Structure 1
Amino acid sequence: MTTSPPSATATERLEALGFTLPRVGEGGKYVEHRSLGSCVYVSGQLPFKDGVLLGQGIVGRDVETEAARGLARHAVVNCLAVAAQAVGGLDRVRIVQMLVFVAGTPDLGQQSRVADAASDLLIEVLGENGRHARTAIGVAGLPLNSPVEIQMVCTAV
């Protein structure tokens, strides 16, 4: 749980959890987000930190569930960075929906547990604006052999 006072900003709450928003890079063949009306669609984000992918492999075979939960937290922080840039700051972000893709063994069954780590972070940082609809999906593989990828839809408050 966050140790920040309730009056802290979203950025301060994020920092209390040991995270800072990374710089958002330029997209190649696609954009990091697309706005349509009041909705911002954030492209899938992997668990990069300082340009390094923090893990590779299949959850339940190469990656433990607890490690995948940590990777999900990093991926969702990357989503928050894109969302904050799109709406003018982290305190203006309201999450509408999150899709969590987990590359796992066919019998894993822990996709929701992995996704819970990202959901918890959103609520700790954004409060009620972090509550969201969610889907956790098991897949055979993800880009760069990442164990986790997160996509989200948000709006500005």
Structure 2
Amino acid sequence: MSITQRLADLGLTLPQPPQALGQYHPWVRTGDLIFVSGQIPLLNGVLKYAGKLGADLDDADGYQAAKLAGLNVLAQLHAATQQFETLNSIVRLDGHIQCVPNWYNHAGVLDGASDLFAQVLNNRAGHARTVFGQTTLPLNAAVELVVIASVRSPTKSFAAGEGSHFS
């Protein structure tokens, strides 16, 4: 079953990949790796989960924030691979959780993204990961995800679909 079909079976719609919020590319592909810049829980261009875990948001909100940010990661990977055909696997997931100093469920919140990847990507979802607690994140986002994915080697390397080549 294709990744697109699994998304549909789960009742999920792949969003338009969010645009960069600054002077950078949302993703860069070089060799057999795609580096996805930080993805936050945006839905239709609007931040859905803002604030700190342990103060403004509970763990269930954080899990959903990580899941939504993960869906944006998949949108970026779809843009980079043009239909997911060349995606081998998620290699690394770094999760940044905006939280209060005495909150400690970082891993449980990041599971929102890891669980989504497992449901959608099956055997392509296995990854190493690290999670960090942060005092602030861009736009007051609850979660920000950074991903490295492995793909079948392209003939050329490029950034964000612009055809930029790197040596």
TM-score by length of 2: 0.85
Instruction: Decide which of 31, 49, 64 is 1:55's aligned counterpart.
Output: 49
Q: CA deviation at 1:17?
A: 2.5
Which amino acid is the alignment partner of residue 97 of structure 2?
V
2:109 is aligned to: 114
CA deviation vs aligned residue, 1:44-88 (integer Å, no higher than 9, x gap): 001011111101110000000101100100001101111111122
Whether the 8 Å contact between 2:106 and 2:133 is mirrored in structure 1 is yes
Cα distance in 1 for residues equivalent to 2:116 and 2:18: 22
State yes or no: 1:77 paired with 2:74: no
State yes or no: 1:139 paired with 2:134: yes
Q: CA RMSD in A?
A: 1.4
Secondary structure, counterpart of 2:68 in structure 1: helix
Cα distance in 2 for residues equivalent to 1:25 and 1:76: 12
2:83 is aligned to: 89
Cα distance in 2 for residues equivalent to 1:15 and 1:121: 13
Range with greater deviation from structure 2 (10-19 or 94-103): 10-19
Aligned residues: 150
Change (3 A) 1:80 1:69: same
Q: Quick one: percent identity of the two aligned structures?
A: 33
Q: CA deviation at 1:11?
A: 1.3
Change (3 A) 1:91 1:69: farther
Identify, as 1 or 2, the structure richer in helix: 1
CA deviation vs aligned residue, 1:75-108 (integer Å, no higher than 9, x gap): 0110111111112223532211001110011111
Secondary structure, counterpart of 1:40 in structure 2: strand
Change (3 A) 1:10 1:102: same
State yes or no: 1:42 paired with 2:28: no
TM-score by length of 1: 0.90
- Structure 1 segments unaligned to the other structure (5+ residues): 1-7
- Structure 2 segments unaligned to the other structure (5+ residues): 153-167
Q: CA deviation at 1:132?
A: 0.6
Secondary structure, counterpart of 2:28 in structure 1: strand
* Pairs within 5 Å for 1:6-17: 8-17=1-10
Whether the 8 Å contact between 1:87 and 1:155 is mirrored in structure 2 is no
